[in-house]
Structure 1
Amino acid sequence: MTNLKKILLAAATVATLLVPATQAIAQANEQFIAIPSYRVGPYGANGQSFYGGYVDYLNYVNMKEGGVNGVKLSWEECETEYNNAKGVECYERLKNKNPTTKGTAYNVMATGIAYALIDKSVEDKVPLMMVGYGRTDAVDGSVFPYAFPLVTTYQMQASAIVKYLTTKNGGSLAGKKIAFLYHDSAYGKEPIGALEAESLIGKFSLIQIPVAHPGNEQGAQWLRIRQENPDYVIFWGWGVMNQTAIKAAQKVGYAREKMIGSWWAGSEEDTIPAGEAAKGYMSATWNVTGKGVPVIADIEKVVYGAGKGNMQDKTKVGTILYNRGVSVAIATVEAIRTAQGKYGKGKVITGEQMRWGLENLNITNARLSALGASGLLPEIKTSCDNHEGSGKVKIQQWDGAKWVLISDWIEGNKALIHPLFKANAAKYAKEKNITPACMK
């Protein structure tokens, strides 16, 4: 009896040891993607839609294609609450989940967290995907090899907004007055240099008005706007700050048709809570809204039809931020696919290989069409010299019930903005004793 107990105990011990080993092997055969996200806190409502779309697309690729060339995608979220310290903690925890991928690529959707991870990502050889946010001088890949401010940067967006307003005013903003109302953070301050440069060229006056986090107190700022009576307000808000600003504009009698927000101030989460006050308000965007995009409709059919959708509130499927999450996931998956094209189809991609994939992206309109994503986002073509890849936005306007596009793609003044990136990157390289060089 004693011998039998010993045999059973030994067998149980062996079985216990084998379980983690089997799980480790399964994980090693998957492309593990780290997702430092935020679904709670002052910006949680925005994060819920964005990351819901992001996760749904990853799930969709697994269900529709069996992964990327047979490599299944896996992922894990870590709640950052849009907090820099928690964002770094999540990064440190998630990078150790899979020693091969190290998380594949990090999309933290927070400029402050991205700044905190710039150096760490280089040390760990895993890229940061700062899609539509982040440290924008990282467009220069010779200085920032692992940072990718993809699609369109804040500066190029600001320049595109100025170009749109210039067109609306017969080709000149000379003598006009523009207020820049911005979130007093790294996010809000990023486009200031570009706007100052544009004001010198365009001969318009620029009034800078910061708003403290989280932005639900703006009385003094809007009193100043009423006094200054600018021709336009370019608005760089996020979260509760956006609906607060729209309501405040109505309260002081400032026309919403003269307000144009950044893409982080142009979602249904911003306009619907503002009610009637939002009608006429404009914003930039790099992605369209609605389920008219085939891939969005197919995600609803395939993923939600199988009861595997990530969004608890299914009415958010097809909204601006949901579709934006899908667009970022598309860029992520296409970078994995690009990397596999060089390093081996059907293989798990390392962080270093993912960096190459991101620096050699070429998402053409034909490819977007093949993905069912025509018009969802602009073409993206990256290189060492250009980690942005596009620089284009569209302008949309809230009609009281939905977002309506009122422009085609507008590209910011690259000849003006990109040299600013280069100058800032060179300054950073000097401070950090970096010798600029393109990686192969």
Structure 2
Amino acid sequence: MKNLKRIMLAVAAAASLLAPALPAMAQASDQFIAIPSYRVGPYGTNGQSYYGGYIDYLSYVNLKEGGINGVKLSWEECETEYNNAKGVECYERLKGKNPVTKGTAINAMATGIAYALIDKTAEDKVPLLMVGYGRTDAVDGSVFPYAFPLVTTYQMQVSAIVKYLASKNGGSLSGKKIVFLYHDSAYGKEPIVALEAEATLGKFKLVQIPVAHPGNEQGAQWLKIRQENPDYVIFWGWGVMNQTALKAAQKVGFARDKIIGSWWAGSEEDTVPAGDAAKGYLSATWNVSGKSVPLIADIEKVVYGAGKGNMQDKAKIGSILYNRGVSAALATVEAIRAAQAKYGKGKVMSGEDVRWGLENLNITNARLQQLGASGLLPEIKTSCDNHEGSGKIKIQQWDGGKWVLVSDWIEGNKNLIHPLFKASAAKYAKEKGITPACMK
């Protein structure tokens, strides 16, 4: 029995040495952040990089600043597998971890989960943070006070892509043919109304071709694209669907520099596995890659230097999705900081407080410079009328080894797209019996 006891103690000691550094359990004095994430399944590799960056920034704020005005950040992940039902389960489980914050700001990085949570989070008075994804008409804060599709929405993104393509054709796409190849889900369908409006305005022919989840079978779709012989393919893919599309395009002989993907189809996870088939491929992005951004380099130094890094594969530090996770966490922290400035520095902020912070964000270029994040993401200025805050993207191109920027910031056609948001939000308000009003 004594030998058995010694063996068990030795195993326990070894396990403690091998276990990764984790944040402390939520304390009442912490700003607890619920993180419904996914690191397994068909989209798991994407989630690993994104949430690695997200959590590394939270650790960085704790290590670099001692938290936000002395309030330490704590968090807990819950695996959703990009599944809507599991996303709701995770939210319900995590929101009770801290009765004040109720999760601070929920960021599931899944449009389907965001749709499933949009009413629940509003009822619970917890902000739903949809950074570069989610329900686009939530830009209207008078109808969706607790939902924030921050930075740039799918509809403004696709409008900016159309503007970029027009700029390559003398300012007009009239008479051109564009195929919209998309993930057959809420995510893939979100930009359709905007793209149809752009096609009517720009007088180009639009052909829509859906791809079933998870997207590893696209033979029929690319045969149709070859038959259609479009001038361009606008590509709304995710996960394994992306590398599959690039390989299929090469197989049918469609030029990759005529394919322009969404920002969720423009990461190293998409291009590296595709090999030569990815060279020349274009995509939108709202954040840059690389460690040349001082903040990213300092995170590696401070967080990984302290043995607190979240990424097992440190080679992915500075990748598109890693830097995007950092950017989303930065916006979250700045919202908490803004809330503290109004409701009390050094205090734990409630979901209602953070909602105000998100609706009153003003992340200027000067502030980004202070954070060491100049150029990492665009300026963000929100209001009740505009929960998006930017509407800008850049276009990048894969040169076979890295992403290279080929444009400056491009803003979508706000005069065309924002009325679509308003109309959709008004319809939702009527269906739900909501009287639109801005919260104070």
Shorter-chain TM-score: what band? over 0.9
User: For the Cα contact (< 8 Å) 2:26–2:75, is it kept in 1?
Assistant: no
Residue aligning to 2:257: 257
User: Distance between the aligned counterparts of 2:26 and 2:167, measured in 1?
Assistant: 56
User: Distance between the aligned counterparts of 1:42 and 1:108, measured in 2?
Assistant: 16
User: Distance between the aligned counterparts of 1:354 and 1:308, measured in 2?
Assistant: 26
Aligned residue identity for 2:406 = I
Residue aligning to 1:95: 95
TM-fit CA distance, 1:184: 0.1
Aligned residue identity for 2:411 = E
User: Distance between the aligned counterparts of 2:157 and 2:106, measured in 1?
Assistant: 22
Equivalent position SS for 2:27: helix
> 1:193-213, CA deviations, whole angstroms, 9 ceiling, x for partnerless residues?
000000001000000000000
Instruction: Say if 1:145 and 1:274 are closer, same or farther in 2 by CA, change over 3 A.
Output: same
State whether structure 2 residue 109 is matched by structure 1 residue 109.
yes
Equivalent position SS for 1:113: helix
TM-fit CA distance, 1:113: 0.3
Uncovered stretches (5+) of structure 1, i.e. residues with no partner: 1-23
TM-fit CA distance, 1:219: 0.4
Residue aligning to 1:268: 268
State whether structure 2 residue 387 is matched by structure 1 residue 387.
yes
Pairing 1:151-190 to 2, within 5 Å after superposition: 151-190=151-190
TM-fit CA distance, 1:305: 1.0
User: Distance between the aligned counterparts of 2:321 and 2:234, measured in 1?
Assistant: 20
> 1:97-154, CA deviations, whole angstroms, 9 ceiling, x for partnerless residues?
0000000000000000000001001110000000000000000000000000000000
TM-fit CA distance, 1:25: 11
TM-fit CA distance, 1:394: 0.1
TM-fit CA distance, 1:240: 0.0
Equivalent position SS for 2:188: helix
Equivalent position SS for 1:143: coil
State whether structure 2 residue 331 is matched by structure 1 residue 318.
no
User: Distance between the aligned counterparts of 1:117 and 1:314, measured in 2?
Assistant: 33
Aligned residue identity for 2:361 = L
Equivalent position SS for 1:75: strand
User: For the Cα contact (< 8 Å) 2:26–2:32, is it kept in 1?
Assistant: no
User: Distance between the aligned counterparts of 2:203 and 2:300, measured in 1?
Assistant: 48
Pairing 1:39-188 to 2, within 5 Å after superposition: 39-188=39-188
User: Distance between the aligned counterparts of 1:145 and 1:299, measured in 2?
Assistant: 33
User: For the Cα contact (< 8 Å) 2:35–2:108, is it kept in 1?
Assistant: yes
Equivalent position SS for 1:82: coil
TM-fit CA distance, 1:26: 7.3
User: Distance between the aligned counterparts of 2:167 and 2:81, measured in 1?
Assistant: 39
Equivalent position SS for 2:32: strand
Equivalent position SS for 1:28: coil
Uncovered stretches (5+) of structure 2, i.e. residues with no partner: 1-23
Residue aligning to 1:396: 396
Identity of aligned pairs, percent? 86
Aligned residue identity for 1:351 = G
TM-fit CA distance, 1:51: 0.0
User: Distance between the aligned counterparts of 1:97 and 1:41, measured in 2?
Assistant: 26
> 1:320-373, CA deviations, whole angstroms, 9 ceiling, x for partnerless residues?
000000000000000000000000000000000000000000000000000000
User: Distance between the aligned counterparts of 2:361 and 2:328, measured in 1?
Assistant: 13
> 1:255-307, CA deviations, whole angstroms, 9 ceiling, x for partnerless residues?
00000000000000000000001000000000000000000000000011111
Residue aligning to 2:200: 200
User: Distance between the aligned counterparts of 1:209 and 1:164, measured in 2?
Assistant: 22
User: Distance between the aligned counterparts of 1:25 and 1:98, measured in 2?
Assistant: 10
User: Distance between the aligned counterparts of 2:47 and 2:104, measured in 1?
Assistant: 20
Instruction: Say if 1:435 and 1:229 are closer, same or farther in 2 by CA, change over 3 A.
Output: same
User: For the Cα contact (< 8 Å) 2:176–2:205, is it kept in 1?
Assistant: yes
Which structure has the larger Rg? 1
Residue aligning to 1:280: 280
Instruction: Say if 1:26 and 1:142 are closer, same or farther in 2 by CA, change over 3 A.
Output: closer
Aligned residue identity for 1:429 = A
Q: Give the ranges of 4+ consecutive aligned residues of structure 1 lying more than 3 Å apart after TM superposition.
A: none
User: Distance between the aligned counterparts of 1:385 and 1:191, measured in 2?
Assistant: 20
Residue aligning to 1:210: 210
Residue aligning to 1:232: 232
User: Distance between the aligned counterparts of 2:210 and 2:153, measured in 1?
Assistant: 20
User: Distance between the aligned counterparts of 1:123 and 1:341, measured in 2?
Assistant: 25
User: For the Cα contact (< 8 Å) 2:26–2:98, is it kept in 1?
Assistant: no
User: Distance between the aligned counterparts of 1:171 and 1:143, measured in 2?
Assistant: 36
Equivalent position SS for 1:415: helix
Aligned residue identity for 2:303 = V
Residue aligning to 2:18: none
> 1:208-261, CA deviations, whole angstroms, 9 ceiling, x for partnerless residues?
000000000000000000000000000000000000000000000000000000
Aligned residue identity for 2:183 = H
User: Distance between the aligned counterparts of 2:44 and 2:64, measured in 1?
Assistant: 29
User: Distance between the aligned counterparts of 2:50 and 2:209, measured in 1?
Assistant: 28
TM-score normalised to the size of structure 1? 0.94
User: Distance between the aligned counterparts of 1:225 and 1:25, measured in 2?
Assistant: 52
Aligned residue identity for 1:66 = G
Instruction: Say if 1:134 and 1:26 are closer, same or farther in 2 by CA, change over 3 A.
Output: closer
The root-mean-square deviation of aligned C-alpha atoms, in Å, is 0.9
> 1:382-427, CA deviations, whole angstroms, 9 ceiling, x for partnerless residues?
0000000000000000000000000000000000000000000000
Aligned residue identity for 2:426 = A
User: Distance between the aligned counterparts of 1:415 and 1:396, measured in 2?
Assistant: 25
Q: How many residue pairs were aligned? A: 417
Aligned residue identity for 2:375 = G
TM-score normalised to the size of structure 2? 0.94
Pairing 1:411-430 to 2, within 5 Å after superposition: 411-430=411-430
User: Distance between the aligned counterparts of 1:277 and 1:217, measured in 2?
Assistant: 17
